Chain A
Amino acid sequence: MSPLSLIRHRDRLLQALVLVGLVSVWELSSRAGWVHPFLLPPPSDVLARLFADMQSGAVFVDLGLTLYRAVTGFVIAAVLAVPLGILMARRRGVQWFFDPLISIGFPMPKIAFVPIFILWFDIYDTSKVIMITFSCFFPIVTATYSGTSHIDKWPLWSARSLGASESELLREIILPLASPAILTGLQIALPVGMITTIVTEMLMGGSGVGGAMIAAGRFADSVGVFAGIIEIAILGMVVIRALDWLRARLLVWHPENRAH
């Protein structure tokens, strides 16, 4: 093992120890009665609940539903926002029409639309997914538009002089050139989508991690609420890591993946 990787390993180990230490303090303070276990249940209880819910399968139903809603909403947003962002950057008329709408929509707190969406689409999956699509759409379209607008003309001119048509240019040259910016937009939108999923589930109720947490809260089940937080933390980490992995796979050609 080289000295550098040894240092890196030792670093990792110390960081893990800090984490274990904090959890131990949490466990201890709850067990010793320094804080009321209702307000801050000991992590061992929370883990025990998680295992019990895993055995009954309840966790997987909630996680599965939450994941399904988040991913569906996110994917629909990407499918709509990426082409629109590219067209806005390349077609004057499209930009003229959509730019004011997006300028207004981007800074707006999308979650404020929940009552309207409940009114229009009821409280079930449809309105949850639409809400998630709505909040993911703006960061993706904005990043795509700005990334596509800042593409150099040189590779475009090269492609044209090699015989590419206007529509081939869009698909074969502009899309890959804009892909780092598009992926950044997706990476910004994903946590936004996760937050929106949990909040809509909390507000509209039903199954799903957010709904389960609100139900646990209503029954004064603080262990259940903390179990929900841990489920969300793990789910969030998994989907964000998955997108990071996708970025590295798609951008193997990019200098950003050659630093190490």
Chain B
Amino acid sequence: MTADFGIKIEGVSHAYPGTQGLNAAGTLALKQTDLLIRHHEFHALLGPSGCGKSTLLYLIGGFIPVQTGSISTQKGPVTAPGPDRSIVFQNFALFPWKTVLENVMYGLQKKGLPEAECRDIAQAHIKLVQLSGFEQAYPSQLSGGMQQRAAIARTLAVDPDILLMDEPFGALDAQTRRVMQEELRMIWKRRPKTVVFVTHDVHEAVFLADRISIMSARPGRIEHQIDTGLGPERDESTLTDRRFVELGEQIWRLVREQAVLASRGGL
């Protein structure tokens, strides 16, 4: 059992330092959070805004240091960012001075692979996200959806054990978002990975995830965990599936409770 976990989060609290005046004590973003994410599981972190779900993701990524508690993966405790836990951000965070191909090749070059191999792997991933023909385009020449495809290709190309996604479709229009969700699920099925997907969109979480953690209002904790049990196949028909609709309502109620708490407390 111990060998079968993807990410183990134990007793993690996180406080952001305060500034002078109003908020001198700082903000407690996470309080005593425990979460076990299974190996090759698509796991969604859902919660009202400001609940600390992004903070938890950045801690897993190693971008901000763990203050209390511990986070570990199969590779041991997390101390710094690394290509075993690659991330996709909401605002794509592509390198604007590099072409799509150069962006996707960057992580491969960091691995020390020969140039020709980098190129081949990058091409394959650009094809995977259906961006063939745009290899030589700069990010500023692409639409938001295409930029996010490029960012996903760049992240998948380094073949991380763990894929972290921080509201990756939040900046896209509704139609593009739907298409990207289906494609992401399809890519994940072909290349299983442990995925942690942060979102505040209930239906996105239900559609994509195998398991959903609902976080409490700040300071964040894991309040509920739900197995979606929707099976590996997700497509148009999932959206009208009875279980999908029921789960959506059930989870929406749970999230709403926390959102109401969040709007009453603090703010």
Q: Say whether B61 contacts A159, CB under 8 Å.
A: no
Q: If A154-B91, A162-B106 touch, does A253 touch B96 (CB 8 Å cutoff)?
A: yes
Q: Say whether A159 contacts B87, CB under 8 Å.
A: no
Residue B94 at the A interface, CB < 8 A?
yes
Residue B81 at the A interface, CB < 8 A?
yes
Q: If A154-B91, A154-B93, A155-B93 touch, does A161 touch B81 (CB 8 Å cutoff)?
A: yes
Residues of B within 8 A of A251 (CB): 97
Interface centre among A158, A179, A254, A258 (most CB of B within 10 A): A158
Residue B48 at the A interface, CB < 8 A?
no
Contact with B along A163-205 (1 / 0, CB 8 A): 1100010000100110100000000000000000000000000
Q: Is the interface of A mostly helix, strand, loop or mixed?
A: helix
Q: Which of under 10, 10 to 19, 20 to 34, or 35 or more describes the interface residues of A?
A: 20 to 34
Residue B252 at the A interface, CB < 8 A?
no
Residue A255 at the B interface, CB < 8 A?
yes
Q: Which residue of A lies closest to B86 (CB)?
A: A161
Q: Which residue of B lies closest to A162 (CB)?
A: B107
Q: Say whether A155 contacts B95, CB under 8 Å.
A: yes
Give the CA-CA distance A176 to B96 in the complex, in Å.
9
Residue pairs across A and B with Cβ atoms less than 8 A apart, 17 shown, are: A154-B91, A155-B93, A157-B63, A157-B81, A157-B93, A158-B89, A160-B63, A160-B80, A161-B85, A162-B86, A162-B107, A176-B97, A253-B97, A253-B99, A253-B140, A254-B96, A258-B140
Knowing that A157-B93, A158-B94, A158-B95 touch, tell me 14 more A-B residue pairs with CB under 8 angstroms. Answer: A155-B94, A157-B58, A157-B81, A157-B89, A158-B151, A159-B106, A162-B83, A162-B110, A162-B154, A173-B95, A176-B95, A179-B97, A252-B138, A253-B99
